[in-house]
Amino acid sequence: MGHYYYQTESCNPWHNLAVETYLGSRIEKNDVILYLWQNDKTVVIGRNQNALLECRAKLLEEEGGFLARRTTGGGAVYQDLGNLCFTFLADPRVYDLERQMRVVTDALKTYGLRAEFSGRNDLLAENGCKFSGNAFSNTGSCRVHHGTLMVDVDLQNMERYLTPSSHKLRAKGVSSVRSRVCSLRDILPELTVEGLKGALIESFGKEYGSVQKLKDQEFPLSEINRTKEWHASWEWRYGKSPECEIRCTRRFSWGEADLWIKGSGLRILEIKMYSDCLDASLPQAFERLVTGKRLDMGDVTEEDILRAGGSEQQRERVREAVSWLSSADL
């Protein structure tokens, strides 16, 4: 039986989620691990969510941020260095949500804050504002409970990135439920992320008894890097998105293009271009080219365009439409 805690210095969400996966794989009988981590400028979506529906992913990445998908359910969250993530990983025989939440709420009590576990797995401050969301998974050999603690999050960035684009979109994924949120610093001006880390570790020790610190040297870097690559992959982050329908419109010098797209896994299953362009065959040429391709056009090559045939003028118009989709904030 062992009770352990680990803090990572990494602020990369793909690495941090890979570490979480590794820690879960090493759980033995009666083990409980508390893992503390932070992500910088990141939107994390739930396992069953549609990336396009939940956030402005292209804007986020253009501004140096990260899109990540976790293996647990729940909704989309924005995280930066004003947020602290915690994870409890436990042998199912000793997994105890009440004890785990007590570690968190008792840590907050040391600052004079009485928090309430409420609703959709949220922690609320006394004024009713949400400052923490929690999600869960069960692999059979390990149960995972992780959550966020908004200490001093940039709420303006949160609003910008978690507001989907204005394109008309219908999706079968699980939509996030928007809640009234606040940062803990609004209530506790003296609170810091580092201080909260220390309070959580102390509270963990009081709840579970003797605890041991895990060190980086104990982790197999090659295994973690392989899992990190998977978390960073387009296929996992975008390709796991459920079926969706998108409509977007743009006027070019040669006419208006009105696209109706049906996608699955963020690949184009069906597409229809309506246009007042004088080149009557342009819409069909474009539709043939991009059907089956990624929505971000990342796998459309110049060779594909040349093989599609048509006049050079038509090919140039196709290039313009492809460039538009590749840069659009879908």
Question: Helix H segments across the chain?
Answer: 13-25, 51-54, 57-62, 97-109, 155-161, 193-208, 221-232, 234-237, 282-290, 302-307, 312-327
For the chain, the distance separating the N- and C-terminal CA atoms, rounded to the nearest angstrom, is 49
Q: Give residue-wise pLDDT tens across range 303-320.
A: 999 988 888 999 999 999
Reported confidence tier of residue 225, pLDDT bands at 50, 70, 90:
very high
Reported confidence tier of residue 72, pLDDT bands at 50, 70, 90:
confident
Q: Give residue-wise pLDDT tens across range 186-222.
A: 999 999 999 999 999 999 999 999 999 998 888 999 9
Q: Which of 294, 252, 303, 247 is nearest to 272 (CA)?
A: 247
Per-residue pLDDT at 178 exceeds 80: no
pTM given for the model: 0.78
The structural domains of the chain, ordered by start, are 3-237 (3.30.930.10), 244-327 (3.30.390.50)
Per-residue pLDDT at 1 exceeds 70: no
Task: Determine whether 110 is exposed, middle or buried from the number of CB atoms within 10 Å of its CB (0-12, 13-18, 19+).
Answer: middle
Per-residue pLDDT at 228 exceeds 90: yes
Q: Give residue-wise pLDDT tens across range 104-144.
A: 999 999 999 999 988 668 899 988 899 999 988 888 899 99
Contact predicate 165/91, CB 8 Å? no
Per-residue pLDDT at 174 exceeds 70: no
- Give percent of the chain above pLDDT 90: 65
Q: 212-213 and 3-7 as β-strands: parallel, antiparallel, unpaired?
A: parallel
What are the tokens at 135? 């999600």
Highest mean pLDDT among 20-34, 152-166, 169-183: 20-34
Per-residue pLDDT at 34 exceeds 80: yes
